[in-house]
């Protein structure tokens, strides 16, 4: 079965590599030519457009930055739908709004193309290890048909509900990640300002009630190593917090903590840190407090 992959970025590249290793003939498309060339050297086949890719593949995976890019990739003149074939399946693994996913699924359905939302959690490490958590929304038969492919990419695969349900839970998860990351940055800077050693803080809080994924995954490997290469970019988490805010507005629900966390990410973006890992929000607090947590 020919598989297509669009979006060979921080996440997409290791995911695509796992599909090549699993012996799927893999057709790829990305606007970043060096990323494409790298995958071709590893056995993937490059396409000149999403349209050409759709003409060659039964299953197509998207791992793109945001909904606007996903929508153009589908509906553009050289887009997937222009080359679409009845019976094929598009799996959008990007983190996007469920409303956009439902619009794209409806367009695909006109051409009898199956559409599934399957955003992920687990970061670049999980993508490389094939251990992502995958949150799936869509028709059961379409989801079951692509399960072997999802199992190459992830370890825990949850079929959450109908189309858009995977996107909805991903928004909830990343609301928590954003709040926790902003909180970790604030707390570690307070600790250093109080005279504590960052290593000691990490060791103790990891075993205490203040622990979180953001603390464990981002302190030792990113903050303390002064390494902010994404990872998961600040621009992308800002987008995910915006998705949470939009969702809440539609439901007439306040999200004060998410709003505050989003402003912390906005401060980091304003400092030019948008392409750095989310752990780089610590630089905002370090500057305000006049101390450095990083070594
Ligand atoms: P990234 O920016 O590293 O990669 C995106 C890729 O898409 C790049 O290679 C880029 O060149 C390509 N691209 C952009 N516009 C394109 C277009 N018009 N046509 C074709 N290719 C295009 O982003 P990432 O970190 O890999 O994240 C991808 C998605 O996964 C995002 O929606 C993100 O929110 C989500 N996500 C990321 C992580 C993470 O830890 N990085 C974790 C979970 C989910």
Nearest CA-CA partner of 150 in 279, 24, 266: 24
CA–centroid distance, residue 122 to ligand 1 (Å): 14
- Looking from the CA of residue 11, the nearest atom of ligand 1 is 26
Average pLDDT of the residues in 176-191: 98
Nearest CA-CA partner of 61 in 20, 97, 99: 20
Does 132 have pLDDT greater than 90? yes
Q: Which residue is closest in CA terms to ligand 1's atom 25?
A: 10
CA–centroid distance, residue 252 to ligand 1 (Å): 30
Instruction: Note the pLDDT of residue 230.
Output: 85
Long-range contacts of 12-15 (CB under 8 A, 24+ apart): 12/63, 13/38, 13/39, 14/124, 14/127, 14/128, 15/61, 15/63, 15/93, 15/127, 15/132, 15/153
Dump pLDDT digits (tens) for 239-290: 999 999 999 999 999 999 999 999 999 999 999 999 999 999 999 999 999 9
- Looking from the CA of residue 8, the nearest atom of ligand 1 is 9
Give the pLDDT band (50/70/90) at residue 150: very high
Ligand 1, pocket residues at CB < 6 Å: 6-12, 29-32, 35, 63-65, 69, 73, 94-95, 120-121, 123-124, 230, 232-233, 236
CA–centroid distance, residue 148 to ligand 1 (Å): 23
Tell me the fold of 168-289.
1.10.1040
Dump pLDDT digits (tens) for 215-232: 999 999 999 999 999 889
Does 295 have pLDDT greater than 90? no
Average pLDDT of the residues in 188-211: 98
For domain 3-162, the CATH class is: alpha beta
Supply the mean pLDDT for the chain.
Answer: 97
Calculate the alpha carbon distances from 183 to 224, 259, 278, 281, 282 in Å.
Answer: 16, 13, 12, 10, 10
Query: Taking a C-beta distance cutoff of 8 angstroms, is the pair 133, 121 a contact?
Result: yes
Does 158 have pLDDT greater than 90? yes
Domain boundary assignment for the chain: 3-162, 168-289
Q: Which residue is closest in CA terms to ligand 1's atom 21?
A: 30
Tokens for 51, please give them: 């349209």
Does 27 have pLDDT greater than 90? yes
> Which residue numbers are catalytic?
170
Dump pLDDT digits (tens) for 57-115: 999 999 999 999 999 999 999 999 999 999 999 999 999 999 999 999 999 999 999 99
Q: What is the best residue among 53, 63, 176, 280 to mutate for testing ligand 1's pocket, by most ligand atoms within 8 Å of CB? A: 63
CA–centroid distance, residue 289 to ligand 1 (Å): 33
**Residues whose CB is less than 8 angstroms from the CB of residue 239 and which lie 6 or more positions away in sequence, other chains included:** 65, 66, 95
CA–centroid distance, residue 127 to ligand 1 (Å): 12
Instruction: Note the pLDDT of residue 290.
Output: 97
């Amino acid at each position: 079965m020919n598989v297509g992959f669009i979006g060979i970025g921080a996440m997409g590249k290791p995911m695509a590599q796992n599909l090549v290793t699993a012996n799927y003939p893999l057709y790829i498309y990305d606007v970043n030519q060096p990323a494409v060339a790298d995958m071709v050297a590893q056995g993937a086949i490059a396409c000149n457009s999403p349209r050409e890719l759709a003409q060659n593949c039964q299953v197509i995976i998207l791992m793109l930055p945001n909904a606007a890019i996903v929508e153009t990739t589908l509906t553009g003149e050289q887009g997937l739908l222009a080359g679409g074939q009845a019976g094929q399946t598009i799996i959008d693994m990007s983190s996007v709004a469920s409303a956009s996913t439902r619009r794209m699924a409806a367009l695909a359905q006109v051409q009898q193309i199956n559409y599934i939302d399957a955003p992920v959690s687990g970061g670049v490490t999980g993508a490389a290890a094939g251990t992502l958590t995958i949150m799936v929304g869509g028709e059961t038969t379409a989801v079951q048909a692509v399960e072997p492919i999802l199992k190459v990419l992830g370890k825990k695969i949850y079929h959450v509900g109908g189309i858009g349900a995977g996107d909805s839970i991903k928004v909830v998860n990343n609301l928590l990640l954003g709040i926790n990351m902003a909180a970790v940055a604030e707390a570690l800077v307070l600790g250093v300002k109080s005279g504590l050693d960052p290593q000691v803080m990490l060791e103790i809080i990891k075993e205490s009630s203040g622990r979180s994924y953001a603390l464990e995954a981002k302190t030792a490997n990113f903050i303390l190593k002064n390494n902010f290469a994404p990872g998961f970019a600040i621009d992308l988490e800002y987008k995910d917090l915006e998705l949470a805010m939009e969702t809440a507005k539609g439901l007439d629900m306040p999200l004060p903590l998410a709003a505050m966390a989003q402003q912390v990410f906005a401060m980091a973006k304003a400092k030019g840190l948008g392409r750095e890992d989310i752990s780089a929000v610590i630089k905002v607090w370090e500057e305000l407090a006049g101390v450095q947590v990083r070594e």
